[in-house]
Structures are given as structure tokens and as C-alpha cells.
């Protein structure tokens, strides 16, 4: 093997998702020498059509599907490119609910985490990331969910997005880390190296040595060694604990991975709800949170086909009726997983377990979702679960199973967190209240791994706000 390419920096940020980008940008703006590395490519937001096969192959890890195994299983998606998940998700945004922050303070000993103290951090991130509400009328598919909630007296709301809308609300441009924070990072002197994977960290004579590989444009690999005074690990809630465990750092690392498990349905209406060029749906039902929430999903023809793939004649049905169909989901907070490395494998093994109560909540949420869509005048609701019958009446909802069997692969997630929780309760946490790893000088975590429990809402706003809070605290304390 060739000799490694040796680099030096004051601060190394590993990973360029929302947590890494916010951290790296604030550090660069404060005048620090910052190198940010990213395993994936540096691609523009327009490098591939959104939710296309090309995007999945170029911007996602494992082509868009990773699987947590066990008696039950769950498939999740993870971005792998500069900007991380913000480049591939819909950008729906929520601030962390008060009761979630309070539980972190009480159960994990997180200092200074209340709604009042977090407000300035959320606001600062929202201004840079361009968080906006639809100025016009949301799509018909989105409004249907709201109408169903209203008919049943359920609380519903419209979520803002990382999106720069045209004034008339009929178009605009999606926003992401590459569009916002990455640009600020580079403008303030930050250095960015894509196609660079860090495999291990070690502490030598008061400095951190990160070793791994970097690839050139032709895909040729070269060993790399980066020496830095401080390291912010922001590889994501699965890859961060994997890197730390490979580096011998294991205290409360990778033992508490959590998801927002999701089950989908396809609702068919008696008129068009799904037109080409529609803005992404934004309505959500909040009535049953924190047990479960409901929302709308992207419903392009290929996605409808995949959602209905277990149904006989699904592709013909999609070709004929896709404009009258929409994909909707119910999302819970159940299940807990571990992250462990396996010899010879680059990705870690994720093992998940669901309790009987977790499966009952999923089943209850699925029934409520079907009830809400029937109230929205869906002529039928097709659960995306093998063996479940179509729901075309109130009686159909009543005959649905009360508990879901997640062993058939129907449960998915796009939200992953909580593998290295923060707080002063060292029996339960991997870092202190501001992301500094217990017992490791100059080592910080700056991504969704820190979130103590599921956020109930879309977690990107929480990741950004917590990263903003933590790095400002580190700068103020001069990393003490």
C-alpha cells in the first residue's frame, strides 16, 4: 500500500450533514482552521432529479436501502454526499417539542436545553437554511389529509420546509446544506474534502490522528492521515458510533439507536389529487402525538408502484389511476437498536427489537390513518403491508389487526438518531450536555446521535439547533 497523504488542521469535522455543516460553518466563521471531510461526493442539488434512481445511486448509502435486522426488521435510508440527508429529504422542518426537551433535561441531565434557551439557535438556523411556509395553496393531496382530520375533529398542521418559494407559491427552489451552510463554510475559509472516509481515530501526544482513505475523481483510493487538535464527529447516527467503536470509544456508544418507524398506505380518491408539478405535501396530523403522527409522502408513479408491489396488477393500476392516488404514512417512536462492527465489513450491523406495545401502537396508528383518509373521501385505502385487505368502508377499518407484525419488511424509517446520547448522567450518556465525549479531550459529536430520544417530529431542525448551541458553547469556553 502507498504511503498515506498527510494533512493537518486545527479542527477536523467528519461528516457534512446538517450537524456537521452547522458546526463547521460556525467554527470557520469564528476564525478557526477547519477541514471538513465527507465520504460521499460533492454534488449540486440539481446533479440528479429528486427521488430518482440516479439520485439514489449517487447520493444515498447502499443505493437507498439499509436494513436493521432481528426477529423484526426495519429498512431505513441514509444520505451519503456533501450535505447528507438534507440533499435527499423533503426538508420538512419542526422545532423540538417542549415535552421532548424537558424529558432530556430530566432523564439524561442535559443542561440548558429548554425551549427558551433553544429559541435563538433555532431562529439562527432557520434564517440561513431558508425555512418557509407555502405562500399559496398546498397540493390537493396534502389538503385531503387536512380535510380528513378536520372532519374527525383531529388536530392537524402545515409544516414549513427548507424551501425558497416563489411569491405566488406555485414554485421555487428546494434548499439544503449544500445550498446554504456549505457555501458559508467555504466563503469563510473552510476546507472541504469529499470522497474521504475516516476509519479510525487515535489520540497521540495531545493530538488526534484520523486515518482512512480518499478517492480521486476516477475512484482510485489513497490512504490518508489527518492530524488535528480537535475532532467533531458528524457521520450520522449509525456511522458515528461505528467509527467511535472502531477507535476503542464504547461508553454508551451504539447501544441506544432509535428510529421513527413508519408504515405507508396508498389512498385512492374519486378525482385527481396528484398532478405533475405539484409542490410536496406539507400537512401532518398531530392529534395522537407523541404516540404516533401522520403525514403525506411523495407519490410519483415509481414510488406508487413500489408501495403497491405486493398487490396483483399493481403496475397496471398505477398506470391507470396514479393521478387519483397518494401515499400517506403513520410514524411512531417505537423500537430500539444497537450498532456493532463486523470484521471485514465497511458498514456495521444494526440489530433492532420491537416490544409488543411498539407493534400495537403501529397497528393502532395504521387503523387511525385509514380512518382519517376515509373521512377525506378516499374511495379505498390500500395498506402497504402484505396480507392486509383494502379498506373501503368503516367496517373495513374495524377488521384491521390491532397489532402490526413488522417481520415482513413493511416498516421503514427516514429518521435515525439517539445512538450516542448527550447529558450529565454518565450512566446513560456518551457525551456531556454539549457533545463533548466523556473522558476524551478534544473529541465531540455533532449529529443526530446526540438526540437523547426520538424527537416525535422531523428531527432535522433539532439536529441543526443542537449543533448550533453546542458549537457556540465550545467556542465560548475555548473548547474547555
Mean of pLDDT values over 17-29: 98
Mean of pLDDT values over 281-303: 95
8 A C-beta contact, residue 339 and residue 333:
no
Mean of pLDDT values over 303-309: 91
Mean of pLDDT values over 160-187: 93
Distance between CA atoms of 14 and 446, rounded to whole angstroms?
9
- Angle at the Cα of 401 from the Cα atoms of 397 and 273, rounded to 5 degrees: 40
User: pTM (2 decimals)?
Assistant: 0.96
Residue 20 has pLDDT above 60, yes or no: yes
Q: What's the pLDDT score for residue 323? A: 96
With cut-offs at 50, 70 and 90, classify the pLDDT of residue 468: very high
**Cα 370 from chain centroid?**
25
Mean of pLDDT values over 203-210: 96
Cα torsion at 277, 370, 460, 408 (round to 10°)?
Answer: -110
Stretch (H or E) spanning 101: helix 98-108
For residue 468, give the 3-state DSSP assignment: helix
8 A C-beta contact, residue 352 and residue 256:
no
For residue 452, give the 3-state DSSP assignment: coil
Crossing angle for the helix pair 460-476 and 18-29, nearest 10 degrees? 30
pLDDT in tens, 383-406: 999 889 999 988 889 888 888 876
Q: Taking Cα atoms as reference points, which of 378, 266, 370 lies closest to residue 314?
A: 266
Distance between CA atoms of 103 and 118, rounded to whole angstroms?
15
Computed over every residue of the chain, the mean pLDDT equals: 95
Counting residues of the chain whose pLDDT is more than 90, the rounded percentage is 85
Residue 426 has pLDDT above 90, yes or no: yes
Crossing angle for the helix pair 115-129 and 98-108, nearest 10 degrees? 120
Stretch (H or E) spanning 106: helix 98-108
With cut-offs at 50, 70 and 90, classify the pLDDT of residue 65: confident
Residue 407 has pLDDT above 90, yes or no: no
Q: Taking Cα atoms as reference points, which of 472, 17, 41 lies closest to residue 239?
A: 17
Q: Could you give the domains of the chain?
A: 1-42+81-130+175-254+419-480 (3.50.50.60), 54-78+133-174+261-413 (3.30.410)
pLDDT in tens, 273-290: 999 889 899 999 999 999
With cut-offs at 50, 70 and 90, classify the pLDDT of residue 57: very high
Q: What's the pLDDT score for residue 116? A: 94
What secondary structure, in 3-state letters, does 179-245 show?
CCHHHHHHHCCCEEECCEEEEEEEEECCEEEEEEEEECCCCCEEEEEEEEEEEEECCCCCHHHHHHH
Q: What Rg value do the Cα atoms of the chain yield, rounded?
A: 22
Residue 1 has pLDDT above 70, yes or no: no
Q: What's the pLDDT score for residue 408? A: 66
DSSP string, 307-350: HTTTSTTHHHHHHHHGGGEEEEEEEE---EEEEE--TT-SSPEE
Q: What's the pLDDT score for residue 221? A: 93
Residue 252 has pLDDT above 70, yes or no: yes
Q: What's the pLDDT score for residue 434? A: 98
Q: What's the pLDDT score for residue 3? A: 82
Amino acid at each position: 500500500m502507498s504511503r498515506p497523504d498527510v494533512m493537518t488542521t486545527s479542527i477536523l469535522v467528519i461528516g457534512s450533514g446538517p450537524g456537521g455543516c452547522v458546526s463547521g460553518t460556525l467554527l470557520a466563521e469564528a476564525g478557526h482552521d477547519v477541514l471538513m471531510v465527507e465520504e460521499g461526493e460533492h454534488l449540486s442539488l440539481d446533479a440528479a432529479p429528486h427521488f430518482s434512481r440516479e439520485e439514489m445511486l449517487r447520493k444515498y448509502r447502499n443505493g437507498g436501502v439499509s436494513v436493521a435486522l432481528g426477529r423484526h426488521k426495519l429498512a431505513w435510508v441514509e444520505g451519503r454526499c456533501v450535505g447528507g440527508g438534507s440533499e435527499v429529504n423533503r426538508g420538512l422542518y419542526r422545532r423540538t417539542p417542549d415535552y421532548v426537551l424537558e424529558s432530556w433535561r430530566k432523564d439524561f441531565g442535559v443542561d440548558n436545553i429548554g425551549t427558551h434557551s433553544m429559541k435563538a439557535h433555532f431562529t439562527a438556523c432557520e434564517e440561513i437554511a431558508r425555512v418557509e411556509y407555502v405562500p399559496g395553496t398546498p397540493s390537493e393531496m396534502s389538503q385531503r389529509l387536512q380535510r380528513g382530520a378536520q372532519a374527525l375533529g383531529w388536530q392537524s398542521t402545515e409544516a414549513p420546509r427548507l424551501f425558497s418559494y416563489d411569491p405566488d407559491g406555485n414554485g421555487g427552489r428546494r434548499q439544503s446544506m449544500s445550498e446554504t451552510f456549505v457555501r458559508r463554510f467555504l466563503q469563510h475559509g473552510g476546507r472541504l474534502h469529499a470522497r474521504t472516509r475516516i476509519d479510525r481515530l487515535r489520540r497521540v501526544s495531545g493530538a488526534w490522528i484520523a486515518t482512512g482513505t480518499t478517492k480521486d475523481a476516477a475512484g482510485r483510493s489513497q490512504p490518508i492521515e489527518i492530524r488535528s487538535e480537535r475532532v467533531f464527529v458528524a457521520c450520522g447516527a449509525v456511522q458515528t458510533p461505528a467509527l467511535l467503536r472502531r477507535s476503542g470509544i464504547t461508553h454508551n456508544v451504539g447501544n441506544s439507536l432509535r428510529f421513527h418507524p413508519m408504515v405507508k398506505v396508498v389512498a385512492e380518491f374519486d378525482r385527481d389529487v396528484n398532478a405533475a408539478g405539484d409542490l410536496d405535501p406539507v400537512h401532518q396530523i398531530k392529534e395522537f402525538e407523541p404516540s404516533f403522527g401522520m403525514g403525506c409522502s411523495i407519490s410519483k408513479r415509481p414510488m406508487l408502484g413500489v408501495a403497491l408491489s405486493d398487490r396483483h396488477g399493481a403496475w397496471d393500476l398505477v398506470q391507470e389511476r396514479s393521478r387519483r392516488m397518494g401515499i400517506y404514512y403513520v410514524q411512531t417512536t417505537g423500537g430500539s437498536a444497537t450498532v456493532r462492527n463486523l470484521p471485514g465489513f465497511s458498514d456495521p450491523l444494526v440489530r433492532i427489537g420491537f416490544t409488543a406495545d411498539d407493534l400495537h401502537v403501529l397497528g393502532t396508528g395504521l387503523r387511525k390513518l385509514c380512518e382519517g383518509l376515509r373521512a377525506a373521501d378516499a374511495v379505498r385505502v390500500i395498506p402497504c403491508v402484505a396480507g392486509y385487505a383494502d379498506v373501503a368502508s368503516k367496517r373495513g377499518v374495524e377488521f384491521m389487526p390491532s397489532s402490526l407484525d413488522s417481520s415482513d419488511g413493511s416498516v421503514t424509517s427516514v429518521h435515525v438518531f439517539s445512538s450516542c446520547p448527550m447529558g450529565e448522567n454518565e450512566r446513560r450518556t456518551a457525551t456531556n450536555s454539549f457533545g463533548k465525549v466523556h473522558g476524551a479531550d478534544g473529541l465531540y459529536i455533532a449529529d443526530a446521535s446526540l438526540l437523547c430520544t426520538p424527537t416525535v417530529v422531523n428531527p432535522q431542525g433539532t439536529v441543526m439547533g443542537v449543533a448550533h448551541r453546542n458549537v457556540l458553547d465550545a467556542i465560548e469556553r475555548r473548547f474547555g
